Amino acid sequence: MSRFDAAFGKGHPALVTFITAGDGDTPAILDAVMAGGADVIELGMPFTDPMADGPAIQAANLRSLCKGTTTADVFQIARDFRARYPETPVVLMGYANPMTIRGADWFAAQCKDAGVDGVICVDIPAEEDPELGPALRDAGVDFIRLATPTTDAKRLPAVLDGAGGFLYYVSVAGITGSQQAAQSSVQEAVNRLKAATKLPVAVGFGIRTPEQAAAIAKVADGVVVGSALIDIVAEYGNDAPRHVEILTKKLADAIHGAKEIAA
Amino acid sequence: MNKMTDMNDHNSHATAANSLRQQPDARGHFGQFGGRYVAETLMPLILDLEREYRAAQADPEFQREFDYLLKHYVGRPSPLWLAQRLTDDLGGAKIYLKREDLNHTGAHKINNCIGQILLAKRMGKQRIIAETGAGQHGVATATVAALFGLPCTIFMGAVDVARQQPNVFRMKLLGAEVVAVESGAKTLKDAMNEAMRYWVANVHDTFYIIGTAAGPHPYPELVRDFQSIIGTEAREQILEAEGRLPDMLIAPVGGGSNAIGLFHPFLDDTDVEIVGVEAAGEGLDKRHAASLTGGRPGILHGNKTYLLQDEDGQITDAHSISAGLDYPGIGPEHSWLHEIGRVRYEPVTDDEALASFQRLTKLEGIIPALESAHAIAAAERIAPTMSKDQIIIVNLSGRGDKDIFTIADALGVKL
């Protein structure tokens, strides 16, 4: 059983937390989200040109890079996390150039060595899978695909071909941290996706509060929260972990209990 | 004259073996370059655009409208001017200038904007967006948006907004909204990031008029096709003037749309030497924008191409005195032409471009854009090494009125 199977098989929806590696005291922030009840960790690889990200995560990328964070640092953060938390899946999320610059095989081997379970690459759609997909799958690392409101039924099989771990449903056509999608439209989309795949479906983009998270958790297998946590790192600096833990706990309680309340 | 010759040629050449004019392949790759490295949200739209472009290529009415607008609105064909005084001064090959500076809006950019807004109309899009560096593409886009009555938003780096005030004002007069982009180095790359962010949130009704032969497939191909009018005309004009093809073509390359427009119709003429000119800024050991000379392959803005970057794949800031060349990447077809050796790419520094700017102005009475001055500088370097019966065509991609403040600043003159 993979770590993803375990994380999404706890009998309640999963909380997926995103933070940018190297922004603030990342190991302490990771400890905080774990203490707060996160089920899956997404670690953002900083990039100079985060085209799919809104102002909050753009700023986090910049803060991290300005501190001198390297790709080696990102893998070290992942490796150290794996040593502390053997059971929790870790996903690297980022852009194609930093992932492929030393070759896809190099990147996949590093992921495997660091105990990374899956990779999300914003700008490698199914059409460009050969750039990274085969290397990851050969190394036993899941290539997590994104589906969006513009992914129609005709396209969906191509998106799912070679996908692993879970399916990430981007609930709004837009950038991270943007407006939240209506629960009804998300429900419809998740049902459509679940009819086409056995992979768990996690929903992200624009989910900031425990109330919003609970609403999405009623209709999905997982909820991704990123910008709201990043905002805390930006606001509190060294004092961020304590505040991150508080928000994570509220989000986790709301998400983990969402389907019980519904039932 | 059929101005869409190149679009037709592209199809008819598709079966010709060994032609260099058959790229890209069905997946939008030029060799290992190009492709469609975009977020999933944009992918269905990119596929739609490709379908619509194929339909337009096969539609005589689309071609007729394109030809009509180029002739009566843009003012094509642009002249091919024998620069006799420059030629005499250099004492070598005969230099012809392809006068894209005489187009409506003052540069080659309008050719592509006409083509793309016709595609936008076909697709029923309600809003136009574009990125701009020097402001030439922004002005050209705002112009066609005004002509077609569509609302238009231009994304421009805040640094470029400051150094290209006249163009910013022109865009506003034309009815466009100009968004000053404050992220990153606040130049062309960041404007493109912001345009893509806007696009991804408004895909349903927005058409993105990309200004250079880069970005996700099919942009590099369709921009090249729309700009190939430059080379198609130049070819006919030189045959008429000299009864033979030129020995060399020279064009400046930022993203590379004017250059690929001039080069593409000549790619299979192996006797024609082709030179692209990259901006070497303060020098290749300092800050520059020479992606081919100083960069390596990577993925940015929807395509794989040569990029200025560090060992971790972080994009490094470009620099050129010319805002239009101030970009850390280059169109994917140029990367391919570089790798197969069909086109030679040479660097020219800010100082060399400044000197050539002044020389051409005084010798020919033509004020070139700083971008074009880079190509003139390369011609000045190369022409004296060639014989007097040889011929060079230089693409004078735009006029320099927009640059007079930058030039004055560089020369220490207060306006």
Minimum CA–CA partner of B186 in chain A = A49
**Residue B2: what pLDDT?**
44
Find the residue in A nearest to B34 (Cα): A128
Q: Using an 8 Å Cβ cutoff, are B280 and B288 in contact?
A: yes
Instruction: Tell me if the bond preceding B77 is cis, omega within 30° of 0.
Output: yes
The helix or strand, by DSSP H or E, that contains position A16, with its residue range, turns out to be strand A14-20
In order of A173, B92, B239, B379, the CA distances from B274 in angstroms are 43, 17, 17, 12
Residue A261 is assigned to a structural domain of this protein: no
Closest Cβ opposite residue B41 in set A70, A95, A170:
A170
Tell me which chain A residues have a C-beta less than 8 angstroms from the C-beta of B332.
Answer: none
Q: Is the pLDDT of residue B15 over 80?
A: no
**Within a domain: residue A120?**
yes
Mutate to test the interface with B, among A45, A93, A101, A227 (most CBs of B within 10 A): A101
Name every chain B residue with its beta carbon within 8 A of the beta carbon of A51: 39, 193, 196-197, 200, 301
**pLDDT tens column, A157-198:** 999 999 999 999 999 988 888 777 888 899 999 999 999 999
Q: Domain containing A88: what range?
A: 3-256
Contact list, B37 vs chain A (CB under 8 Å) = 96, 123-125, 128, 131
Q: Is the pLDDT reported for residue A126 higher than 90?
A: yes
Q: At A63, which CATH number?
A: 3.20.20.70
Q: CA B271, CA B348: separation in Å to the nearest integer?
A: 24
Q: How far apart are CA A29 and CA B346, in angstroms?
A: 49
Tell me: the pLDDT tens digits for B123-177? 999 999 999 988 989 999 999 999 999 999 999 999 999 888 889 999 999 999 9
pLDDT class for B281, splitting at 50, 70, 90?
A: very high
pLDDT at B14: 42
Is the pLDDT at B6 greater than 50? The verdict is: no
What does the DSSP assignment read for B288-336?
---HHHH-EEEEETEEEEEE-B-TT-PBPPP--SSGGG--S---HHHHH
- Which of B33, B40, B47, B183 is the best substitution to test chain A (most A C-beta atoms within 10 A)? B40
Res A261 pLDDT > 60: no
pLDDT of B7 above 50? no
Q: Which residue has the higher pLDDT, B183 or A194?
A: A194
Q: Would you call B299 and A151 a contact, using CB atoms and an 8 Å cutoff?
A: no
Tell me how far CA of residue A29 lies from CA of A18, A19, A58, B17, in angstroms: 11, 8, 18, 59
Binned at pLDDT 50, 70 and 90, residue B184 comes out as confident
- The shortest CB-CB distance from B43 to any of A127, A175, A178 is to A127
Let me know: does B335 contact B30? Beta carbons within 8 Å: yes
Sequence-distant (≥ 6) Cβ neighbours of residue A171 within 8 angstroms: A149, A180, A181, A185, A186, A189, A203, A204, A205, A206, A207, A216
B40–A152 CB contact, under 8 Å: no
The domain tally of chain A equals 1
- Distance from the Cα of B26 to chain A's closest Cα (Å) equals 11
Q: Kindly list the residues from chain A whose CB atom is less than 8 angstroms away from the CB atom of residue B316.
A: 48
Tokens of residue A138, six digits: 């050969």
Let me know if A53 is a catalytic residue: yes
What's the gap in Å between the CA of A47 and the closest CA on chain B? 6
Q: What is the pLDDT of residue B8?
A: 45
Give A165→chain B minimum CA distance, Å. Answer: 18
Choose the closest CB to A125 out of B40, B183, B197: B40
Q: Does A99 touch chain B (CB under 8 A)?
A: yes
Question: What is the interface size between A and B, counted as CB pairs within 8 Å?
Answer: 116
pLDDT averaged over chain A?
Answer: 95
pLDDT-based confidence at residue B13 (cuts at 50, 70, 90) = very low
Interchain CB contact of A234 with B (< 8 Å): no
Q: Say yes or no: A150 contacts chain B, CB-CB below 8 A.
A: yes
Q: What is the pLDDT of residue B12?
A: 43
Least confidently predicted of A51-55, B161-165, B298-302, B398-402: B161-165
ipTM over 0.90: yes
Contact with chain B for residue A205, Cβ under 8 A: no
For B256, phi and psi rounded to 5 degrees?
105, 25
Min CA distance, B51 vs chain A (Å)? Answer: 15
Contacts of A50 in chain B (CB under 8 A): 193
- Pick from A57, A70, A127 the residue to mutate for testing the B interface (most B CBs within 10 Å): A127
Separation in Å, CA of A128 to nearest CA in chain B: 7
Cβ–Cβ < 8 Å for B328, B291: yes
Phi, psi of B208 (to 5 degrees): -100, 110
Whether residue A227 lies within 8 A of chain B, CB to CB, comes out as no
Give me the residues of A, 17-46, that contact B with CB < 8 A: none
**For position B1, what pLDDT does the model report?**
40
Tokens of A124: 């490698």
| A155 interaction partners in chain B (CB closer than 8 Å) | 43-44
Please state the three-class secondary structure of B76-118 as a single string: CCCCEEECHHHHHHHCCCEEEEEEHHHCHHHECHHHHHHHHHH
pLDDT in tens, B338-393: 999 999 999 999 999 999 999 999 999 999 999 999 999 999 999 999 999 999 99
Q: Under a CB-based contact definition with an 8 Å cutoff, are residues B63 and B5 in contact?
A: no
Q: Which of residues 42-81 of A touch B (CB under 8 A)?
A: 47-54, 58, 65, 70-71
Q: Which residues of B touch A (CB under 8 A)?
A: 27, 35-45, 183-184, 189-190, 193, 196-197, 200-204, 298-302, 307, 309, 311-316
Task: Look up residue A182 and give its DSSP letter.
Answer: P
- B385, with CB counted inside 10 A (0-12, 13-18, 19+), is exposed
Q: Using the predicted structure, report yes or no on whether residue A263 has a pLDDT greater than 80.
A: no
- Measured CA to CA in angstroms, residue B121 lies from B69, B110, B212 at distances of 14, 16, 20
Catalytic residue among A23, A39, A53, A245: A53
pLDDT in tens, A74-124: 999 999 999 999 999 999 999 999 999 999 999 999 999 999 999 999 999
With beta carbons under 8 A apart, name residues in chain A contacting B208. none
B52, B131, B194, B346: which one is catalytic? B131
In a domain, A262, yes or no: no
Of A53, A128, A170, nearest to B37 by CB-CB distance is A128
For tokens 């409506």, name the residue. B104
Give B141 to chain A, closest Cα distance, Å: 22
Q: Is residue B208's pLDDT more than 50? A: yes
Which residues of A are less than 8 Å from B184 in CB distance? 48-49
Q: Residue A54: its chain B contacts at CB < 8 A? A: 197
For residues A24 and A241, what is the distance between their CA atoms, to the nearest angstrom? Answer: 9
pLDDT in tens, B224-270: 999 999 999 999 999 999 999 999 999 999 999 999 999 999 999 99
- Distance separating alpha carbons of residues A39 and A18, to the nearest angstrom: 11
Q: Which residues of A touch B35 (CB under 8 A)?
A: 127-128, 131
Burial profile B245-256: b = 16 or more Cβ within 10 angstroms, e = fewer:
bbbbbbbbbbbb
* Chain A residues within 8 A of B329 when measuring between CB atoms: none
> Which of B44, B201, B315 is the closest to A49 by Cβ?
B315
Determine what percent of chain A is predicted with pLDDT higher than 70.
99
CB spacing of B312 vs A100 below 8 angstroms: no
Using pLDDT thresholds of 50, 70 and 90, give the confidence band for residue B294: very high
B109 is catalytic: yes
pLDDT value of residue A251: 98
Confidence of residue B16 (pLDDT cuts 50, 70, 90): low
State how far the Cα of A237 lies from the Cα of B377, in Å rounded to an integer. 51
A79 belongs to a structural domain: yes
Q: Given B40, B196, B314, which is nearest A151 (Cβ)?
A: B40
Rounded-to-integer distance, Cα B189 and Cα B314, Å: 13
Query: What span, in angstroms and rounded, lies between the C-alpha atoms of A77 and A57?
Result: 18
Per-residue pLDDT tens digits for B60-112:
999 999 999 999 999 999 999 999 999 999 999 999 999 999 999 999 999 99
Average pLDDT over residues A140-161: 96
